[in-house]
Amino acid sequence: MSKEKPQSSALEQINQRRSKTLSTIVCEAIEQMIISGELEAGDRINESALANRLGVSRGPIREACRSLEQAGLLVSATNHGMYVREMTLDEARDLYEMRGALAGLTGRLIVERASDETLQNLLKLVEKMDVAADEGNLSRYYTLNLDFHALLVKAAENPALQHSYRWIVNQLHLFRRRGLVQEGNLVVSNQEHRVIIDALLARDPEAAEIAMRQHVAGGWARMSSPS
């Protein structure tokens, strides 16, 4: 029996890594389209159009879609391809309940572990969100809001918490814009951010936990209320 040539084996491994890298890039691109609202719940994923847009073959597109299906962002329909997942209010409520528990823990850990520099960076993001809220700039506010919460979780310095948070928030992107669109909600949301910052700057773990939990509860109330 002939053995596989080492060069052939190495080339195959390189091609596999290249394919994985491409699918990761595609995965991030599709995820960003969902975050930005370009792709909304119920939208069908057009593999050919995405392949042309991103300059890749359809293989990495399919692989990325499978990953996003496992992450809960996409859902497959037999003989009809992939669609952006439509989440029920009950499913969203379950995720918000989990997020609330994680948020409380995050607040306590930030008080214990975050540097003063990190807290000042969080404060700067809140100040920028004030400007976006005053201007009624939803897209700008939403992006800053994502940055703010990502930095909060990073500041907790707990990789397991970060992983769980990302899994939850990735799915909630399908709903969270809805809770911010209603008049006045940007201002209210950022007022809650201010309460969080005040507790963190005071290095008060109990107040930080409460503020974080209340912000998530407020987010759920805004998201689930009738438009």
- Where does a domain end: 68, 84, 100? 84
More confidently predicted of 90 and 113: 113
Together in a domain, 126 and 194: yes
- Each residue's pLDDT tens digit, 42-59: 899 999 999 999 998 999
One domain for residues 135 and 194: yes
Q: Answer yes or no: do 93 and 188 share one domain.
A: yes
Residue 14 above 50 pLDDT? Answer: no
- Domain shared by 94 and 37, yes or no: no
Whether the pLDDT of residue 181 is over 70: the answer is: no
Tell me what the mean pLDDT of segment 191-213 comes to: 98
Q: Are residues 120 and 158 in the same domain?
A: yes
Q: Assess whether 194 and 108 both reside in one domain.
A: yes
Q: What is the number of other CB atoms lying within 10 angstroms of the CB of residue 171?
A: 19
What is the pLDDT at residue 9?
A: 63
* Domain boundary, last residue among 48, 64, 84: 84
Residue 52 or 17, more confident: 52
Q: Do 186 and 128 lie in a common domain? A: yes
pLDDT at position 182: 62
Based on the structure, what is the number of domains in the chain? 2
Residue 157 burial class via C-beta count within 10 angstroms: exposed 0-12, middle 13-18, buried 19 and up: middle
Within-domain flag for 168: yes
Mean pLDDT estimate for the chain: 87
Phi and psi at residue 84, in whole multiples of 5°?
A: -70, 130
186 found inside a domain: yes
Question: Are 42 and 128 contained in the same domain?
Answer: no
**Residue 4, pLDDT score:** 47
**How do the residues of the chain divide into helix, strand and coil, expressed in percent and rounded to 5?**
75, 5, 20
The verdict on 63 and 126 lying in the same domain is no
1 domain-assigned: no
Arithmetic mean of pLDDT, 138-152: 91
Contacts of 31 (CB under 8 A, 6+ apart): 68, 73, 170
Three-class DSSP category at 108 = helix
Residue 63 CB contacts under 8 Å (≥ 6 apart), including other chains: 19, 20, 23, 26
**What is the domain extent for residue 117?**
89-224
What CA–CA distance (Å, rounded) separates 179 from 181? 6
Last residue in a domain, options 33, 67, 84: 84
Contacts of 34 (CB under 8 A, 6+ apart): 40, 73, 84, 173, 174
